[in-house]
Chains A and B, each alone.
Chain A
Amino acid sequence: MRTWYFSEMAYHPAWDKGLARGSLRVNFPNENVDPREAGTLLNRYLDEFALCDEVGLDIMVNEHHSTATCMTVSVPMALAVIARETKKARLLSLGNPIANRPDPVRVAEEMAWLDCLSGGRVEMGLVKGAPYEIAPANSNPGRLMRRYWEAHDLILKALSTTTGPFSWEGEFFQYRAVNIWPRPIQQPTPPVWMTGMSVDTGIAAAEKGHVVGTLLSGGLAKPMYDAYRKRARELGWEAGPDRMAYAAIVGVGHTREEGLRRADIIADYVRTAPVVAEPFTNPPGYNSIGANVAMLRAGPRAHRMVTDRNGVPIDHRTATVQQFMDTDTVFAGTPDDVFEQLKAFNARMGGVGHLLFFGQGGHLSHQDAKENIRLFGTEIAPRLRELGVPEQAAAE
């Protein structure tokens, strides 16, 4: 299991006001951000990313828009800074919300440029994006995945074509001369990742051979991984743990209490992230007809929940650290605790090759964040690297 550290670079000083308004995203006016404080925080977060290189962790960056929960507005911009400050870490963009990007060729150019700059360290996530990203981008939620797949195909072709220019006359994108300069070091393209929470995503990712990642719910992850492995087998290949990724909050301490305390602070991110005005949570077309039927049947007051390992529903907005640990949202404690928890998780999931280590939620102090990264990098990550396919899954 490899470990990729990430942080959403939150603007947590505005969270209380956002929570009071019932929305931290889209319609939360930016008068609530102090730009100088934002700059101070961004520098601090980037220092935390840079530390990962020293302790042997890889790095992941994501982006969101119009929100106090994440100040990263552009993955390539953040990775450009981080690429210059790191030497060994692989750099995962997870990712570019390509169905919301008007110009896929620009995405290919940026990824190629980063791959050159970093000496071939880029891994490239092409993601659907969260439902509340539709409004800031004003992208059409209808036929979103058709647009996603056209952008996906165009980006991969732009990155891997060396004898261009080529033309592209598609349903959503039209170009007459695609010929990106520079082209990426990693050929034909940097490794491609997708994200999702459904069996369908697992199947789609398997058909492309991409890495598939999901977050914060072991209960949802397992069926998706199983669907991936099954589809790969049908197509004549074995999907190993290196095709599966999982994002979770991790708090490590010299004592169990310290680890739990750090995890609890980081988990405030998960408690705030879903707080967004209702109309932006389910734009028409974003979710499947089946999912919408279930929501209409449940009525307007039903909250979306995840369930723990015993099927007990947990509300992310109010959950305790223990409840989060029961849903595999959080791993926490001493280095030994966390290793054992992840080892058990790896076995339950049938082998997960990538842990996306959510190690900064906003309120965690710089000292705590650095110590969390250092402990993970030196005490846990080396042991996780030895962790492969769990014995039980290998025997199946």
Chain B
Amino acid sequence: MGRHVVVAGVNLEIEEAGQGRPLLFLHPGEGLQPTHPWLNRLGQHHRVIAPHHPGWGGSALPDWIGTVDDLAYLYLDLAAELGLEEAVLAGSSFGGWIAAEIAVRNTSRFAGLLLADPLGIKVGGVLDRDIADMHAIPRAAFMRLAWADPAKGEIDTTKLPDTELAGIARGREALAVFGWKPYMHNPRLKRWLHRIDIPTHLIWGEQDGIVSMTYGEAWKAEIPGARMETIPAAGHFPHWEQPDAFAARVRAFTELL
């Protein structure tokens, strides 16, 4: 259980770990899952601040919040509330989309942007599916697309307490609220990525079946000076699947900032 902060009237639950340069980590649609080891690995060199998005974990989802724009402004307010300076803005998958929406608006509190397998932009034509339709395939098929080794990501929901199951159900509904249509992207975001004026690093799981490395190249092409590196034996969630390799790459990027 993290501590609670009220930002713009929204009660947010925040997980924190470690010391060092602040790193605001925005989680994927699957949730924060703070018991996973990646949070502490990142905390070895950073003061990690990882909010549960509104509707996930213990964070409230007020009726008036319903778009990724809202989340971007909310987290800009959170960064101000926490007094973050020279921080790293990091996001995975859906969280990467939010991070990019923040970065095209205001980077004054951030020294660098780190995007891991982000969703959020439209690259191909009307008949091209840039982002796999995670809601049109069985859970097992989703796991095969999202993980290099699906067994690593399995969660046996029949053994979890009801409070955690309710958290999973709430998070799934919230992801639909924010990302159902257009599906997991903002058709206009790509045109504004040129506004990102801080060093940007893209990390991609080499076996990501949700968004391909080609999609990652499109991100790289739109953000001035962006660099991209890949992690072997990782799918859509490299921070979960390869926490050591992920933390090492984050460290290598932030050391240069």
Contacts and interface: CB of A to CB of B under 8 A. Distances in A.
B169 interface: yes
Interface string A80-93: 00000000000000
Contacts of A297: 157-158, 162, 165
Contacts of A284: 135, 169, 172-173, 175-176
A299 interface: yes
A296 B165 CA distance: 7
Contact of A143 (B136, B170, B175, B177): B177
A284 B176 CA distance: 6
A140 B158 contact: no
B169 A283 contact: no
Contact of A293 (B66, B169, B176): B169
B192 interface: no
B168 A296 contact: yes
B139 A142 contact: no
A140 B168 contact: no
Contacts of B135: 279, 283-284
A296 B160 CA distance: 9
A310 interface: no
A386 B172 CA distance: 49
Nearest to B174: A142
Interface string A125-157: 000000000010011111100100000000000
A278 B158 CA distance: 18
A292 B169 CA distance: 6
A141 B158 CA distance: 24
Contacts of A279: 135-138
A146 B61 CA distance: 14
B interface majority secondary structure? helix
B137 A285 contact: no
Contacts of B170: 289
B173 A285 contact: yes
A235 interface: no
A331 B216 CA distance: 59
Contacts of B138: 277-279
B158 A298 contact: yes
Nearest to B177: A142
Interface in B173-202: 173-178, 180-181
Given A278-B138, A284-B135, A140 B176 contact: yes
A285 B166 contact: no
Nearest to A141: B176
A292 B174 CA distance: 14
Contact of B157 (A140, A289, A296): A296
B166 A289 contact: yes
Contact of B181 (A138, A278, A292, A296): A138
Given A280-B136, A296-B168, A297-B157, A142 B162 contact: no
A215 B170 CA distance: 28
A236 interface: no
Given A280-B136, A293-B162, A297-B157, A142 B168 contact: no
Nearest to A299: B158
Interface in A269-310: 277-280, 283-285, 289, 292-293, 296-300
B138 to A, nearest CB: 5
B95 to A, nearest CB: 18
Nearest to B140: A300
A289 B169 contact: yes
A161 interface: no
20 contacts: A135-B136, A142-B175, A142-B176, A277-B138, A279-B137, A279-B138, A283-B135, A284-B135, A284-B172, A284-B176, A285-B173, A289-B166, A292-B165, A292-B166, A292-B169, A292-B172, A293-B169, A296-B168, A297-B162, A300-B139
Interface of B: 63, 66, 135-139, 157-158, 160, 162, 165-166, 168-170, 172-178, 180-181
